[in-house]
Amino acid sequence: MPVIDSTQSEVDEILDNLPGRFGREQSSIIPVLQYTQEKFGYLPEPAVIGIAKYCRVSASTVYGIATFYAQFRFTPIGKNVITVCRGTACHVSGCQGLLDELEKLLGIGPDSTTPDLEFTIQTVACFGSCALAPVILINGKVHGRQTPKSTRKLIKKIKAPAEAEESVK
Ligand code: FES
């Protein structure tokens, strides 16, 4: 994927203006990765190279650390994040039906983001709320005992303002 110039310049600006608490050393790699991801929502490729230069280590060292921790992502995340539980309780209660409904509504499967960056669907093994199975999380809010119909309603509610805005254009 080609690197967009604006991303490169944004990364440069962030790294040039890092708060003083981030020393130029190896122990700063994780905090600087976290800080950069907070700014972009993910780690663009120029960030890995820039952080390597900043911390005076190789890009492969930074990449190795970033891929080791599940908290770091290399692709943009959608404005709305839907997390579907695929644990045993949710599986037997119909989580696949929720995923199928989401795919119908958004045109994407698990671990994907819509091209307009409005929605990301991800899955987890268990939220620890099995009594509410099947469970989904939308932008940090838990929705239990879901059915394809109730999930559709939730998504339509999120989409409604964006669609209303579209129709005004
Ligand atoms: S299996 Fe889904 S919340 Fe536990």
For 102-128, how does the pLDDT look when each residue is reduced to its tens digit (9 = 90+)? Answer: 999 999 999 899 999 999 999 999 999
Query: Which residues, in sequence order, are bridge partners of residue 122?
Result: 83
Query: Which residues, in sequence order, are bridge partners of residue 84?
Result: 123, 136
CATH code at 46? 1.10.10
Rounded to the nearest whole angstrom, what is the distance from the C-alpha of residue 27 to the centroid of ligand 1? 36
Pocket test for ligand 1, best of 93, 99, 130 (most atoms within 8 A of CB): 130
Residues 114 and 60 in one domain: no
Of the CA atoms within 13 Å of residue 37, those in its CB half-sphere come to 18
pTM metric for this prediction? 0.71
What percentage of residues in the chain have a pLDDT greater than 90? 72
Rounded to the nearest whole angstrom, what is the distance from the C-alpha of residue 144 to the centroid of ligand 1? 10
Residues 106 and 60 in one domain: no
Residues 164 and 84 in one domain: yes
Confidence (pLDDT) at 167: 54
Please give the residue range of the domain that contains residue 60: 5-68
Count of structural domains within the chain: 2
Residues 91 and 130 in one domain: yes
Residues 94 and 34 in one domain: no
